[in-house]
């Protein structure tokens, strides 16, 4: 491919910086028309949960649980998408199989 050691070191440093930036980023997953918001880091750590008052119904806890799960899934997918974009940019457009990210 015509890479020398300096090129590889630069690529590795760039990848490490991108990985660090991703891990320090926050992603917000939503559900119920933004009535439930889950904030997650690029490390998949949930850092915040916001609920709109209209979704807090003591008579329908199951709906609230479903909305929270959906918002978590949305945030998770956003982190995975961001990982995939970084890896795609580093591999020249070649996509990695699921689970092969950071």
Q: What is the pLDDT of residues 41-82, one digit of tens each?
A: 999 999 999 999 999 999 999 999 999 999 999 999 999 999
Q: Cα separations (Å) of 82 from 5, 79, 91?
A: 28, 5, 14
CATH superfamily of 24-90: Nucleoid-associated protein YbaB-like domain (3.30.1310.10)
For every residue of 36-78, DSSP letters joined together read EEEEEETTS-EEEEEE-GGG--TT-HHHHHHHHHHHHHHHHHH
Give the pLDDT confidence score for residue 97 in this predicted structure: 58
Give the pLDDT confidence score for residue 86 in this predicted structure: 85
Question: 12: which strand partners?
Answer: none
Is 95 in a helix, a strand, or coil?
coil
Return the closest-CA partner of residue 90 out of 6, 16, 23, 2: 16
Q: How far apart are CA 71 and CA 86, in angstroms?
A: 23
Residues 92-102 as b/e (b if ≥16 CB within 10 A, e otherwise) read eeeeeeeeebb
> How would residue 4 be classed by pLDDT, with cut points 50, 70 and 90?
confident
């Amino acid at each position: 491919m015509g890479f020398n050691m300096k090129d590889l070191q630069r690529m590795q440093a760039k990848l490490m910086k991108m990985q660090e930036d991703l891990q320090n980023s926050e992603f917000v997953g939503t559900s119920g028309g933004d009535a439930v918001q889950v904030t997650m880091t690029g490390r998949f750590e949930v850092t915040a949960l916001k609920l709109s008052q209209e979704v807090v119904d003591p008579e329908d806890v199951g709906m609230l649980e479903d909305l929270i799960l959906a918002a978590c899934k949305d945030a998770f997918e956003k982190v995975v998408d961001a990982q995939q974009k970084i890896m795609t940019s580093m591999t020249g457009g070649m996509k990695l199989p699921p689970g092969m990210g950071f």
